[in-house]
């Protein structure tokens, strides 16, 4: 009898382990996707010559991210703009609440390499 209970409990722990692994893979996928989106966003900021409200709304609509400028919103040619991109993630096991994934990036205005 104890062997059957042990087997049932081990299946429960194995299932939770696989769900936790699936959450971690999904979290890494969302982080990588956000990181990949930051490259064309940096290019658009650099190419446009600065940040405007229309560019910020275009970035948020096209890439489905939240854009927050930390510094350099009124920068000129050759100056740096520091910004945060964030998106929301709804995990199965890691947390009951929706998690926010954020990355911080810096781009230079007018520099296209």
Q: 30, 100 in Cβ contact below 8 A?
A: no
Give the pairing of strands 66-71 and 99-108.
unpaired
Residue 89 three-state SS: strand
Burial-class residue 98 by CB neighbours within 10 Å (0-12, 13-18, 19+): exposed
Walk along the chain (113 residues) and give the pLDDT tens digit of each residue. Answer: 668 888 888 888 899 899 999 999 999 999 999 999 999 999 999 888 888 899 999 999 999 999 999 987 777 788 889 999 999 999 988 888 999 999 999 998 886 65
Rounded distance between C-alpha atoms, residue 84 and residue 48, angstroms: 18
Q: What is the pLDDT of residue 40?
A: 95
Q: What is the pLDDT of residue 1?
A: 66
Query: pTM value?
Result: 0.82
Other beta carbons within 10 Å of 78: 9
Q: What is the pLDDT of residue 95?
A: 86
């Amino acid at each position: 009898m104890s062997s059957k209970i042990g087997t049932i409990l081990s299946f429960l722990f194995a299932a939770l382990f696989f769900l936790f692994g699936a959450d971690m893979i999904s979290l890494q996928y969302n982080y990588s996707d956000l990181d990949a989106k930051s490259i064309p966003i940096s290019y658009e900021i650099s190419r446009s010559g600065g940040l405007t409200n229309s560019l910020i709304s275009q970035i948020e609509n096209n890439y489905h991210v939240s854009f927050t400028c930390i510094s350099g919103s009124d920068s000129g040619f050759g100056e740096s703009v520091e910004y945060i991109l964030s998106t929301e993630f709804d995990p199965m096991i890691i947390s009951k609440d929706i998690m926010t994934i954020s990355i911080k990036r810096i781009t230079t205005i007018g520099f296209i390499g």
